[in-house]
Amino acid sequence: MNISSLLQGIASFAWIGFIGILIAISVRASRKQSVGGLSTAAIVLVVAALLLTTIGAGIVFIEPDELGVVVTVLGSGGIRPDPLDSGLHWIVPFAERVERYPKVNQTYTMSSVVDEGEANGDDSIQVRTKDGQQVYIDASVIYAVDPIKVVQLYSTWRFSYEDQFVRTQARGIIRDVASQYGVEEIVSTKRAEMEQLITERMLAIFETNNLVLRDFVLRNIRFSDEYAAAVEQKQIAEQQAQQAKFVVEQRKQEAEQARQVAQGSADAAVIAAKGEAEALLIQAQAQAEANQVIARSLTPELVQYQYVQKLSPNVQTIFIPSGNQFILPLPGSPAIGQ
């Protein structure tokens, strides 16, 4: 309770006391009783009540979160040029009054959710996009009264600035800006750009109407039922396409893996064949070299000796028909056919 309210409360009690004394005076006067003391008390109370009422009407306390506009019958303007800031102030009793405005931020919400916005029911903004689609936008406007221009605000809008200005301008700007974008841009690539453009336009229009825009919040964007169903079908088709692409890539990877395995097996077979061929070649070369060495070391006598050595070990005598030679010529005998 501030001092103005306190004084007015005391003044009310003084008036009640004054009325009570008047009743008592009337009763005593009807009974022919003395009313001298009551008359004095009545005069004191009425003077005190008048004084307290006047002082209470002249003292105004502005709360820390308020601004005051003094409406006066004095002068030609009807409004004091300077607003009242928080604290205790004096106005001319009964000739001036104070209209109070909030200094704190205010929020005006337009939403499709019932009881979430300032208006009852669906209060979202219907917008026709550049490509002809219908979208529904939920938004909040956070603003405050300009403390320097609160007197001009009172002169222009009184207390109807929220419904007649904030709501009207916000909805108009949102519709105008959103209509410059396609529906895909609004919900994805250009949403932040659109929100920034709406904020800039609101800043300018609010400033010229004695308000300060604190923030603009694009709360939600909702499609028509038909477009939402189409978007859902498109998303399903895209997911299926992605799944098919994944399967194709998987099959490609499996085929590539099989090709690499087959290539590895083929390369291994080639390497093994080359190894075997090289081994046979080396073996043949070694055999040839061995044969050359053997051939260089052979003599007729050695051959005959090896021949004899290969005969059965039990053979002691060999009979040869008359006139025939040995299979191999004996040392010193002429060769066969000579």
**How many domains does the structure of the chain reveal?**
2
- Any idea what the CATH number is for the domain that residue 194 is in? 3.30.479.30
Using a 10 angstrom Cβ sphere, with 0-12 exposed, 13-18 middle and 19 or more buried, the burial of residue 297 is: exposed
* Domain range for 158: 106-223
Q: What is the pLDDT of residues 267-302, one digit of tens each?
A: 778 788 888 888 888 888 877 777 777 777 767 666
User: Average pLDDT for residues 155-175, to the nearest whole number?
Assistant: 95
Question: Does one domain contain both 78 and 118?
Answer: no
Question: Does one domain contain both 74 and 171?
Answer: no
What is residue 316's predicted lDDT score, i.e. its pLDDT? 61
Task: With respect to residue 8, please indicate whether it lies within any of the assigned structural domains.
Answer: yes
pLDDT at residue 244 tops 60: yes
Q: What is the largest CA-CA distance in the chain?
A: 208
Helix and strand numbers (H, E) in the chain are: 9, 8
Q: Which of 100, 126, 148 is the last residue of a domain?
A: 100
Q: Tell me which of 273 and 229 has the higher pLDDT.
A: 273
- Whether the model pTM is above 0.75: no
Q: Which of 100, 131, 162 is the last residue of a domain?
A: 100
C-alpha pair distances (Å), 178 with each of 26, 107, 125, 195, 202:
76, 21, 10, 9, 14
Give the span between the Cα atoms of 111 and 141, in whole angstroms.
11
Q: Tell me which of 292 and 20 has the higher pLDDT.
A: 20
Other residues' Cβ atoms within 10 Å of the Cβ of residue 35: 17
Task: With respect to residue 118, please indicate whether it lies within any of the assigned structural domains.
Answer: yes
pLDDT at residue 324 tops 60: no
What DSSP element (H or E) covers 99?
Answer: strand 96-102
CB 83 within 8 A of CB 150: yes
Report the alpha-carbon angle 195-136-157, nearest 5: 65
pLDDT at residue 135 tops 60: yes
Report the alpha-carbon angle 74-79-81, nearest 5: 110
Give the span between the Cα atoms of 123 and 114, in whole angstroms.
8
Contacts of 138 (CB under 8 A, 6+ apart): 109, 110, 111, 112, 113, 117, 124, 125, 218, 219, 220, 221, 222
Task: With respect to residue 297, please indicate whether it lies within any of the assigned structural domains.
Answer: no
Task: With respect to residue 140, please indicate whether it lies within any of the assigned structural domains.
Answer: yes
Task: With respect to residue 238, please indicate whether it lies within any of the assigned structural domains.
Answer: no
